[in-house]
């Protein structure tokens, strides 16, 4: 029985799994978006989000804890300067997983995992949709006001 057993084994030993998550984390922070299997992406999300939360605090102790997890000085420096400034006051949910279908060779489900505030294409589309909704709402309110005045 697997009651209350958390995390995925990903068919790897504990040390191999930790190395995999560290490498995926460094790649994600370096490139802001990576393509991997959906299961690895879901596991990576649980690994990277607490690291980003520690980086948001910005003190020396948390920098050392993050450095202990990632082992890449340049990426940790970028995390504490560029990435944290982009994230701002976001209260969690720093990553987005987008499923993209199955891999041809073995049929594994693939996904993109990305840092939310760094995908300008999706953020621009969301802002445009929000503006369209607000315009439609104000247009509807104006029509209702005209109808009310006509009566």
Return the CATH class of domain 14-116.
Answer: alpha beta
**Mean pLDDT value across residues 19-48:** 96
pLDDT tens digits, residue range 50-76?
999 999 999 999 999 999 999 999 999
Six-digit token string for 73: 């000085």
Domain ranges of the chain: 14-116, 119-151
Report the sign of the C-alpha dihedral through residues 31, 37, 40, 43, in that order. positive
pTM for this model (two decimals) = 0.79
pLDDT tens digits, residue range 100-141?
999 999 999 999 999 998 877 777 788 888 889 999 999 999
Strands of the sheet containing 95-102, edge to edge, are 33-37, 109-115, 95-102
Q: How far apart are CA 141 and CA 55, in angstroms?
A: 44
Six-digit token string for 42: 């879901």
Q: How far apart are CA 73 and CA 151, in angstroms?
A: 70
């Amino acid at each position: 029985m697997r009651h209350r057993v958390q995390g995925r084994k990903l068919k790897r030993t504990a040390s191999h799994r930790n190395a995999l998550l560290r490498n995926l984390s460094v790649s994600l922070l370096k490139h802001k978006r990576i393509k991997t299997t959906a299961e690895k992406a879901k596991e990576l999300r649980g690994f990277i989000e607490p690291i980003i939360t520690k980086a948001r605090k910005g003190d020396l102790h948390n920098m050392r804890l993050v450095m202990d997890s990632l082992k890449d000085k340049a990426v940790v420096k970028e995390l504490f300067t560029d990435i944290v400034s982009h994230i701002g006051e976001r209260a969690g949910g720093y990553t987005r997983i987008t499923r993209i279908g199955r891999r041809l060779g073995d049929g594994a489900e693939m996904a993109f995992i990305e840092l939310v505030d760094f995908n300008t294409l999706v953020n621009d589309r969301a802002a445009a949709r929000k503006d369209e909704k607000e315009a439609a709402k104000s247009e509807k309110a104006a029509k209702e006001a005209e109808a009310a005045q006509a009566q």
